[in-house]
Homo-oligomer: A and B are copies of this chain.
Amino acid sequence: MADIFKALSNPNRLKIFLKLSTCCRPGTEGIYNMSTAVDTMFIGDLGKELAVGKPTVSHHIKELRRVGIIRTERRGQNIACWIDPDIIDQLRVFFTR
């Protein structure tokens, strides 16, 4: 759990998380299965809004994936990302009771 919070403690990683949260809402069919997703978020697109270089974005994505917050899948030249819904459920439960 500490690792998950650490991942979300960096402002740029939190922005990535929020961006993915708004683009890929739980309950939206296919959003967690990129083969049918209607609204994907590529790493390059995420990086454009972050005022940091590509190596840094890559590092942050790697970290978010390491702790299980996001999942990724190559789509041609790009790599698509989405939030793992299980983690969000876990986190909500963590703050319940």
Contacts and interface: CB of A to CB of B under 8 A. Distances in A.
Interface stretch (A5-13, A37-45, A51-59, A72-80): A5-13
What does DSSP make chain A's interface, helix, strand, loop or mixed?
Answer: helix
Interface string A12-42: 0010000001000110000000000000000
Interface residues of A, number: 19
Specify how many copies of this chain sit in the oligomer.
2
Contacts of A9: 2-3, 5-6, 8-9
Interface of A: 1-3, 5-6, 8-11, 14, 21, 25-26, 88, 91-92, 95-97
Given A2-B10, A2-B11, 4 more contacts: A1-B8, A2-B14, A5-B14, A6-B9
